[in-house]
Amino acid sequence: MAKLDVDSSSTADREDDSCEGPSRPPPQTRRKSLQELSLLSQRTFKEYEYAELEAATKNFSLDLKLGEGGYGLVFKGKLHGRDVAIKVLKKEGFQRTQEFQHEVELLGRIQHPHMVVLLGCCSHRGCLVYEFMANGSLDDRLFCKNGTPPLPWYARFRIAAEVASALYFLHNLGPEPVVHRDLKPANILLDHNNVSKVGDVGLAKLVPERLAAINSTYFRDTTPVGTFAYIDPEYQRTGLFGPKSDVYALGIVILQLLTGRGPVGVHAIVEEAIECGNFSSVLDSSAGDWPVGKAEEVACLALQCAEMRRRQRPMLETVLPMLDGARNYAENCAAIHATNRALAGDPKAVPPSIFLCPIFREVMQEPVVAADGYTYEYEAIRQWFQAHDTSPLTNLRLEHKQLTPHHALNKLITEWKTRAKV
């Protein structure tokens, strides 16, 4: 296949399409995306006055309360015409100012499509201002809270891969790798297209650079933190945490995605169903017509991730390609489904996420494959390469910057646009 020169440019207009929902981004989305992309390495936090946050939330009205976590309340607000989520730390939590400053400084460096963006803070009153995630948490959607519709199976495969990619990115941050330590559905948020982003990294601990440089994989904290059902059993017992602590939590989350069940006992339920040859009975029927064989492969991987002994769990570098394979399978099925709906004249037909650039979150016009194996809109990845030599999704250094046109995907997108009359 032909290779593209990343220094060349493209001036083609783009479509204003979105994924898995009826909402569509405004015409300015592409220009805004380019501006944001060009500032990725320069983004700074805004220090808000407490009065601004009071006005944005109508004096922290309970009517605007989004939820409550271990560290405080979260409110919906509007700042400068933009919807935001404002986390107000509990008084006793804010007294631990080191943890507050840790979260602010940490999120200031994180740039990933599947990590929640921290926009600013009010440091003297313990408030954090995040981007607003319109579809709430994965926990809400798994249990259809407030009458929300269930997530289809192909979206669940995709979310599993997205979360794994975010964790892999965190674990490969330099010079100080990060372990999340509190991964759970309540901390996985969904935007208006049901694209997932990992949030609430306030409990994450930076691995000291002096320790990261040696052959030590695990680090000691005498007070285990996190949510019980998702905490690495060895972390509870020894106080030692590391990347495989997040792998354990990821395994439990994936089992929940497959079954729609709570976390307690889900490992044993799925394991027994597989051993009895009755795995399909534990799949969440509300997610649609599961490809049982593929789902069982994912379940077996999740069971390995959630092994009691840390040494028996796989590394994320092994897990991620397998989840990406499941996501690609699911999104190909979703693409065919979307095209058929468009052909049938369904006015609600929307593009599957495989058609969307992970940077722009719009339907691609020139899909290309980069050295990390992921597909991007040509213009987006070209802009990224102007300031980076790493993958936008894994944070790993790329062997080269050559881009290969994805002709098969481009054909599918063109066919979908024609049939959907986009």
Query: Binding site for ATP: what residues are annotated?
Result: 87
Query: Beta 82-89 vs 72-79: how paired, if at all?
Result: antiparallel
63 is catalytic: no
Give the C-alpha separation, 115 to 100, whole Å: 18
CB of 339 closer than 8 Å to CB of 412: yes
The length of the chain is: 422
Q: Residue type at 58? A: K
Q: Which residues contact 404 (CB under 8 A, 6 or more apart)?
A: 1, 2, 3, 4, 368, 369
Residue 387 and residue 400 in contact, taking contact as beta carbons nearer than 8 Å: no
Query: Which residue of the set 16, 83, 140, 182 is catalytic?
Result: 182
Residue 350, C-beta contacts closer than 8 angstroms, at least 6 positions apart: 17, 18, 19, 20, 21, 22, 338
The answer to whether the CB of 129 falls within 8 A of the CB of 79 is: yes
Give 382's DSSP letter.
H
Show binding-site residues.
Answer: 87
Name the nearest CA neighbour of 352 among 26, 16, 21. Answer: 21
In 32-80, the DSSP E strands lie at 46-47, 65-69, 72-79
Residues involved in catalysis:
182
